[in-house]
Amino acid sequence: MNLDTFDCIADNAKGCVVATLPTGEPFVAEVVVFDTLGGVMGIRKLMQEGESFVYIGFPLDIEDGDHLVGQGGVSAHLGGDQSGVAEAGRVQGLKWNRTDGTLTGKFEFSGKDENGQAFTVTGGEFNLVVSDCSQALQAQTASTACAIIAPALRGNTRIGTTTLVLDDRERPSFIEARQTLDLVGGVWRLGAAFFVTYDEQGLPEITRAFATVDNGGYLARDVSITRMNWVPGEGLSFDFALSFDYNGTLYTMHDGRVDLKL
């Protein structure tokens, strides 16, 4: 599959993600997202039933070259009618120019879905120009976020944190409620991440959400955002609820609240 054949709608990156799904069907992302914690996600049939995505996660300090899935913080995930975390795979020829934002590579991975059925994603490629990829994320510790998780995720039943990570204090387009302390079950990071856009009047809207577990990002479904309050230069707050698949189990975050102080 030739990447140059396709022109995808982009979120915070320009470019495309393509692959061949386990059914043999070609996957062409309609939306491309760069995970500012490290990773590339291609999404097809955005916010619709039957939506599918592929996600390749990696550390922000990853070196150019070939990498095995499951080593060095490299992960992969397939979402859709058949969903699961990769058990094996590789990213080949990764090249990331952090000056001009170009990020390219090829990938393939395999695993088992929530029903124990094997799947393989082949012929994957990504070719992106990432917007503001060199901008450092900032931690804002005067803020708060919380949510209840059901069922318990590896023994963790809630998020409660005073650390929110964002990309811009004046007009954030990425916000993550990140908990790294007081977690159990071997979980070292747990939270929710939100992508924010602004309309012509400068009013914010949550366009995409993810659950974050360890080094993985999991596309949220049934996202509900209510009671949003935006005061430029001061803060952004909202209530949220969402659901996501993790290791074959459907989880919900409910009674969620983000109170970001800028």
Mean pLDDT of 1-9: 38
Please, are residues 165 and 180 in contact by the beta-carbon 8 Å criterion?
no
Q: What is the pLDDT at residue 178? A: 86
Please, are residues 75 and 216 in contact by the beta-carbon 8 Å criterion?
yes
Q: What is the pLDDT at residue 51? A: 64
186: pLDDT confidence band, cut at 50, 70 and 90? very high
Task: Give which of 69, 244, 241, 256 is closest to 179, Cα–Cα.
Answer: 256
Supply φ then ψ for residue 71, to 5 degrees.
Answer: -125, 145
Higher pLDDT, 18 or 171: 18
Distance in Å from the first CA to the final CA of the chain: 44
248: pLDDT confidence band, cut at 50, 70 and 90? confident
218: pLDDT confidence band, cut at 50, 70 and 90? confident
Q: What is the pLDDT at residue 158? A: 96
Among 11-15, 164-168, 180-184, 193-197, the range scoring the smallest mean pLDDT is: 11-15
Which residues are CB-neighbours of 63 under 8 A, at least 6 positions away? none
- The Cα–Cα gap between 124 and 162 comes to 38
pLDDT for 8 beyond 60: no
Which range of 117-126, 166-175, 189-198, 203-212 scores highest in mean pLDDT? It is 117-126
Q: What is the pLDDT at residue 132? A: 57
Higher pLDDT, 258 or 55: 258
Residue carrying structure tokens 């005061």: 231
Farthest-apart Cα atoms in the chain, separation = 50
Supply φ then ψ for residue 115, to 5 degrees.
Answer: -100, 5
Q: What is the pLDDT at residue 136? A: 45
- The Cα–Cα gap between 226 and 244 comes to 19
pLDDT for 129 beyond 60: yes
- The Cα–Cα gap between 226 and 237 comes to 9
pLDDT in tens, 51-110: 678 889 888 889 999 999 988 889 888 877 777 788 999 999 999 998 888 999 999 999
- The Cα–Cα gap between 108 and 164 comes to 33
Neighbours of 4 (CB within 10 A): 7
173: pLDDT confidence band, cut at 50, 70 and 90? confident
Q: Is 163 left (phi over 0), alpha (psi -120 to 50) or beta?
A: beta
Among 180-184, 196-200, 224-228, the range scoring the smallest mean pLDDT is: 196-200
Domain ranges of the chain: 3-130, 138-261
- The Cα–Cα gap between 26 and 23 comes to 9
pLDDT for 177 beyond 50: yes
Higher pLDDT, 170 or 68: 68
Please, are residues 113 and 87 in contact by the beta-carbon 8 Å criterion?
no
Q: How far is CA 48 from the centre of its chain?
A: 17
Burial class (CB in 10 A: 0-12, 13-18, 19+), 221: middle
Q: What is the pLDDT at residue 141? A: 60
Per-residue burial over 107-117, b = 16 or more CB atoms within 10 Å of its CB, e = otherwise? bbbbbebeeee
